[in-house]
Amino acid sequence: MSHPGSILIVDDERSMRDFLRIALQRSGHTVELAESPAAAHVAYTANEYDVVLTDLNMPGGSGLDVLDGVKAARPHTQVIVITAFASTETAIAAMKRGAYDYLTKPFKIEEIGVVIERAMEKRTLVRDNIELRAELQGRFRLDRIVGKSPVMQRIFDLVKKVAPAKTSVLLSGESGTGKELVARALHNLSPREKGPFVGINCGAIPETLLESELFGHVRGAFTGAVADRPGLFAAADGGTIFLDEIGELGSQMQVKLLRVLQERTVKRVGGTSEEEFDFRVVAATNRDLEAEVERGAFRRDLFYRLNVIQLHLPPLRARREDIPFLVEHFARKHGAALGHPIAGVDPDAMAVLCDYDYPGNVRELENIIERSVTLETGERITRAALPDLTPRRRAEASAVTPAVPAEWPPEGIDLERVMNEFERDLVLKALQHSQNVRKAAARQLGISLRSLRYRLAKIGMADEEDTES
Ligand SMILES: Nc1ncnc2c1ncn2[C@@H]1O[C@H](COP(=O)(O)OP(=O)(O)OP(=O)(O)O)[C@@H](O)[C@H]1O
Ligand SMILES: [Mg+2]
């Protein structure tokens, strides 16, 4: 008995209730009894049972009503129906309506034991999966950012630590790695959260306009300046200003921005007085700003002003453990947005998604998932709905052993990450090879089904609908 749990028995026949109670209590379960669908309703509304075992034909109503009632009130409770030999068809109807299994009278005690045990196991699996989803809301998520990899977890810690302060933060990373998302999290998790978040793309506006955009202007400062106009620093008063693509700033604007950051006062274009504002600066770049400083294209003093705290977002291909969680997150997000709920992702589809390099990083992954949710008619994302994703190049395509580098990389090796990736690749491959039958995949890997489930849960693929059950 590995899964003792709580069971509600619903039967109008007293002898049957007692027989089942004694048998199941002996196996370590907690048992409660109800002699009619109405009494059962009272019981499962008050308590959440792991399993409800119900007779089908009772004078007080049908076991199908019990089934429907439990499914509505307690979606995770597993229902087993008991039927006389003659009514197997009703039993099959009950299965279609969501019953976990059925028992045909007369049955042996061992038979009940096996069925209950399997139902309890399913119940545990469902519970584990719910916990995993909850974890996606908890530890693996900060504001709207999702990440499980150690680097993302470190970024979460740092964001939480520096968000409350006024310290300037410089975000670096390739396009689509989540810089703006982190900038918003820094704002949302700060005491300025109720204040404005003002973003500007410094690369998108010509230098002459950028100055008046940022600092504002007075009437008549230049042709077209027909009225006084406050700038974005004024608009960000009490909040956060997000200077995106800061590496694109021309040299004159670099000087002007440096002054504003040093004095924390702003002079409008054409104006004479200095205005003081309370703002927090978050800047972002997809360039190597330090290299720009070295080659003289970006002012060193401005770089130091901005770079009080630096957060680097690595490309997605360098933190593949995040992929399954991001896939799950986006499938849910876009499924809900499109009114087309997605229950999960097929393992072969996940394998393809995990194996791609994402030059466009998380933005590209999100687009792929949004598109596949649109194309998909069922409730799962299948391989067929994905575009052609050329897998990353492997050093040694035929070898199954991960390559040990000939030269030790100067930044070292994240053993945990490499081993996890290798494990994930093998698990997904085994599933593919076994046509998604988990029992067969476990056999192929020489591990138990339980161990396989654990490993799948680790990569975000715990699944309520176990294919072999
Ligand atoms: N870790 C993440 N979790 C959830 N969503 C993410 C994550 N990273 C990025 N995204 C999503 O991917 C998209 C791109 O992210 P974002 O705009 O923050 O990237 P960026 O680094 O600012 O890119 P660019 O340099 O091109 O402006 C957004 O829709 C964002 O919501
Ligand atoms: Mg951006």
Decide: 362 in ligand 1 pocket, CB within 6 A. yes
Q: Do residues 281 and 243 make contact, with C-beta atoms less than 8 angstroms apart? A: yes
| Closest to 179 in 3D by CA, of 282, 325, 58, 299 | 282
Pair (178, 57) in one structural domain: no
Identify the domain boundary among 136, 154, 186.
136
Decide: 286 in ligand 1 pocket, CB within 6 A. yes
Q: Do residues 285 and 254 make contact, with C-beta atoms less than 8 angstroms apart? A: no
Assess if residue 274 is contained within a domain.
yes
Please report, as a single letter, which amino acid is at residue 390.
T
Pair (165, 280) in one structural domain: yes
Q: Do residues 428 and 91 make contact, with C-beta atoms less than 8 angstroms apart? A: no
Assess if residue 464 is contained within a domain.
no
Pair (99, 157) in one structural domain: no
Q: What percent of the chain has pLDDT over 70?
A: 93
pLDDT in tens, 269-306: 999 999 999 999 999 999 999 999 999 999 999 999 99
Decide: 247 in ligand 1 pocket, CB within 6 A. no
Give the Cα separation of 124 and 77 in Å (integer).
10
Residue nearest to atom 23 of ligand 1 (CA): 176
Identify the domain boundary among 273, 292, 314.
314
Pair (229, 105) in one structural domain: no
Decide: 175 in ligand 1 pocket, CB within 6 A. yes
> What pLDDT is attached to residue 437?
86
Residue nearest to atom 29 of ligand 1 (CA): 363
Assess if residue 338 is contained within a domain.
yes
Residue nearest to atom 10 of ligand 1 (CA): 178
Which residues partner with 284 through β-bridges?
171
Identify the domain boundary among 297, 314, 331.
314
Decide: 372 in ligand 1 pocket, CB within 6 A. no
Give the Cα separation of 39 and 24 in Å (integer).
20
Pair (149, 128) in one structural domain: no
Residue nearest to atom 13 of ligand 1 (CA): 363
Tokens 């509600």 locate to 8
Give the Cα separation of 258 and 237 in Å (integer).
18
Indicate which ligand has the atom closest to the C-alpha of 141: 1
pLDDT in tens, 299-358: 999 999 999 999 999 999 999 889 988 998 999 899 988 888 888 888 888 888 988 999
Q: Which domain does 168 fall in, by range?
A: 145-314
Decide: 179 in ligand 1 pocket, CB within 6 A. yes
Decide: 364 in ligand 1 pocket, CB within 6 A. no
For residue 222, the CA-to-ligand 2 centroid distance in Å is 31
Residue nearest to atom 26 of ligand 1 (CA): 175
Indicate which ligand has the atom closest to the C-alpha of 180: 1
We report the CATH number of the domain holding residue 446 as: 1.10.8.60
Is 374's pLDDT higher than 70? yes
For residue 199, the CA-to-ligand 1 centroid distance in Å is 14
Residues with Cβ within 8 Å of residue 332, at least 6 apart in sequence? 342
Q: What percent of the chain has pLDDT over 90?
A: 53
A 10 A CB-CB count for 77 gives 22
Assess if residue 307 is contained within a domain.
yes
Pair (404, 304) in one structural domain: no
| Closest to 416 in 3D by CA, of 449, 362, 458 | 458
> What pLDDT is attached to residue 32?
95
> What pLDDT is attached to residue 186?
97
Give the Cα separation of 288 and 233 in Å (integer).
26
Decide: 370 in ligand 1 pocket, CB within 6 A. no
Number of domains in the chain: 3
| Closest to 302 in 3D by CA, of 272, 351, 260, 365 | 260
Please report, as a single letter, which amino acid is at residue 82.
I
Indicate which ligand has the atom closest to the C-alpha of 183: 1
Indicate which ligand has the atom closest to the C-alpha of 179: 1
Decide: 147 in ligand 1 pocket, CB within 6 A. yes
**What 3 state SS string does 298-324 have?**
CCHHHHHHHCCEEEEECCHHHCCCHHH
Pair (155, 254) in one structural domain: yes
Give the Cα separation of 3 and 177 in Å (integer).
43
- 192-195 contacts at long range (C-beta below 8 A, 24 or more positions apart): 192/238, 192/239, 192/240, 192/280, 195/236, 195/237, 195/238, 195/239, 195/240
pLDDT in tens, 235-277: 999 999 999 999 999 999 999 999 999 999 999 999 999 999 9
Indicate which ligand has the atom closest to the C-alpha of 361: 1
Indicate which ligand has the atom closest to the C-alpha of 175: 1
For residue 229, the CA-to-ligand 2 centroid distance in Å is 26
- Indicate the top mutation candidate among 180, 242, 246, 317 to test ligand 1's pocket, ranked by most ligand atoms within 8 A of CB: 180
> What pLDDT is attached to residue 250?
93
Q: Near ion ligand 2, which residues have CB within 5 Å? A: 180
* CA distances to 212, 243, 289, 350 from 248, in Å: 17, 10, 10, 37
| b/e 404-431 (16+ beta carbons within 10 angstroms → b) | eeeeeeeeeeeeebeebbeebbebbbbb
> What pLDDT is attached to residue 136?
62
Pair (300, 388) in one structural domain: no
Give the Cα separation of 246 and 244 in Å (integer).
5
We report the CATH number of the domain holding residue 103 as: 3.40.50.2300
For residue 181, the CA-to-ligand 2 centroid distance in Å is 8
Pair (333, 448) in one structural domain: yes
Pair (366, 299) in one structural domain: no
Pair (275, 150) in one structural domain: yes
Residues with Cβ within 8 Å of residue 72, at least 6 apart in sequence? none
Q: What is the mean pLDDT of the chain?
A: 88
For residue 37, the CA-to-ligand 2 centroid distance in Å is 58
Is 420's pLDDT higher than 90? no
Atom of ligand 1 lying closest to residue 201 CA:
27
Pair (415, 288) in one structural domain: no
Residue nearest to atom 16 of ligand 1 (CA): 178
For residue 171, the CA-to-ligand 2 centroid distance in Å is 10
Atom of ligand 1 lying closest to residue 173 CA:
21
Assess if residue 89 is contained within a domain.
yes
For residue 204, the CA-to-ligand 2 centroid distance in Å is 12
For residue 360, the CA-to-ligand 2 centroid distance in Å is 12
State the pLDDT confidence band at 68, using cuts at 50, 70 and 90: very high
Assess if residue 1 is contained within a domain.
no
Q: Do residues 280 and 309 make contact, with C-beta atoms less than 8 angstroms apart? A: no
Q: Which two structure tokens, joined as six digits, stand for 455?
A: 């490993």
We report the CATH number of the domain holding residue 252 as: 3.40.50.300
> Using CB atoms within 10 A of its CB, is residue 294 exposed (0-12), middle (13-18) or buried (19+)?
exposed
Compare 52 and 62 and report the one with higher pLDDT. Answer: 52
Assess if residue 463 is contained within a domain.
no
Assess if residue 340 is contained within a domain.
yes
